[in-house]
Amino acid sequence: MGLLSLILLAACACATPVGVTHVDTQSMYRAITANVLSADHPSSYSELLARLGLTKRFDEDPEVVLAALRGPGEGLSREYLFVLSELSFYHAVRSQKPEYFLAAAVYAYAFVLGRTEEAPVAAVDPRFRLAANLYNLGLAQALESREEEATVVIEPGSRPLPFGKMEISVDDKMFLWSGYRMVRFISLGEFKVRGFLNRYRQAGIGAPLAAELAPAGEGPEAEEARKRIPPRLKVPVTAVLQIEDVSAGIATGDLKARIQVYAADPARTAEIGGHRVPLELEPTAAPPTGSRAHPSGTPRSAAFSRPSSHSSPRGC
């Protein structure tokens, strides 16, 4: 009996609860880079939740936990700003509440461009690119029409936040482009591109969109411009939400911001928060040709057709 006990004890000692296992590079990389945009759980960079013992509570009542993490909203560190952004986006996906998509964009904006007493985020910090993506996708989904899927509504007005509201202004002149007016915006973050040998994109800040056009303006110059541009052209643009004093806004719950729309042709960077930053561009997803009529009568690019279960395999 004594020998059997020793054998069992030795076996248990070999199966320690903490340890490492050798895996291939791809498995390791997937494990350390998984986040709310690629998996159904937050990234390891949001481990603050586990350290505070709030993981189970977040699963049960995420809005209470998010409010507790924000607290009074003053002096939030970049660690808290990132965690609040990722967890707000995670809750928004599950609840489909636009105010949490907008909150994710606000916290991400503060993480990347906000002023804190800490040193700026290093470009090699993996959270930097992830926060930019949370801002881009959070903004697009916060502004998405509740009636028309993938259509982004860019207009002035008040938008609710979980901790207050945001007053948004829009410069109407930014909708004018070469004798046309941008009249409808489609989020390119929700479409998969197929049929192109190369996909051209630029990583940066902003929600990549495609703008449908309607004739605008009269006179020889406008008419001449329209002769060179197909009437069903979809213009790739980037929408950027610039937030005034984002840190103070998070604390007071009263935020002011303006949306600017940049056409991809002339603009590749923008001045945001005192920094010159690259814009997120997706020109391949908004092809200038191959348009077709949408059933409603509105022109719609063939690239905007959604995949179905009967789609042809890649390469067919």
Mean per-residue pLDDT, 274-279: 86
Asked if the model's pLDDT at residue 223 lies above 80, the reply is no
**Which SS3 state, helix, strand or coil, does residue 250 take?**
helix
* pLDDT category of residue 18 using cuts at 50, 70 and 90: low
Assessment of whether the complete model's pTM goes beyond 0.85: no
What span, in angstroms and rounded, lies between the C-alpha atoms of 129 and 111?
A: 11
Query: How many CB atoms neighbour CB 258 within 10 A?
Result: 16
Q: Token match 């997803």: residue?
A: 285
Q: Which residues contact 293 (CB under 8 A, 6 or more apart)?
A: 299, 300
Which range has the top average pLDDT, 74-78, 114-118, 187-191, 309-313? 74-78
Closest by CA to 230, choosing from 150, 186, 287, is: 287
Tokens of 122: 């290093």
Angle 297-298-302 from CA coordinates, rounded to 5°: 105
* pLDDT category of residue 289 using cuts at 50, 70 and 90: very low
Distance from the Cα of residue 10 to its chain's centroid: 51
What's the confidence (pLDDT) of residue 119? 77
DSSP β-bridge partners for residue 15: none
- The rounded mean pLDDT for the chain is 80
Identity of residue 68: A
Q: pLDDT > 90: what percent of the chain?
A: 44
Query: Residue 115 in contact with residue 247, Cβ under 8 Å?
Result: yes
Asked if the model's pLDDT at residue 276 lies above 70, the reply is yes
Asked if the model's pLDDT at residue 253 lies above 90, the reply is yes
Sign of CA dihedral 297, 298, 303, 305: negative
Mean per-residue pLDDT, 175-204: 78
Angle 178-184-189 from CA coordinates, rounded to 5°: 105
* pLDDT category of residue 13 using cuts at 50, 70 and 90: low
Sign of CA dihedral 28, 29, 30, 36: positive
Angle 86-92-94 from CA coordinates, rounded to 5°: 110
Tokens of 89: 């986006």
What's the confidence (pLDDT) of residue 315? 37
Closest by CA to 143, choosing from 180, 192, 199, 187, is: 187
Query: How many CB atoms neighbour CB 79 within 10 A?
Result: 15
* Least confident span in 14-23, 26-35, 58-67: 14-23
What's the confidence (pLDDT) of residue 263? 87
* pLDDT category of residue 15 using cuts at 50, 70 and 90: low
- Output DSSP code: residue 86: H
Query: How many CB atoms neighbour CB 57 within 10 A?
Result: 14
Distance from the Cα of residue 290 to its chain's centroid: 27
Which range has the top average pLDDT, 9-13, 163-167, 226-230? 163-167
Q: Token match 């800490």: residue?
A: 118
What's the confidence (pLDDT) of residue 231? 61
What span, in angstroms and rounded, lies between the C-alpha atoms of 58 and 66?
A: 8
Convert the pLDDT of each residue in 124-165 to its tens digit.
Answer: 888 999 999 999 999 999 999 988 878 999 999 999 999 999
Convert the pLDDT of each residue in 56-111 to its tens digit.
Answer: 999 999 999 999 999 999 999 999 999 999 999 999 999 999 999 999 999 999 99
Query: Residue 105 in contact with residue 140, Cβ under 8 Å?
Result: no
What's the confidence (pLDDT) of residue 265? 72
Query: DSSP alpha helices (H): ranges in the chain?
Result: 2-14, 25-33, 48-51, 55-60, 62-70, 78-95, 98-113, 126-142, 220-227, 246-252
Mean per-residue pLDDT, 172-183: 84
Convert the pLDDT of each residue in 191-201 to its tens digit.
Answer: 666 666 667 77
Pairing of strands 164-170, 254-263: parallel
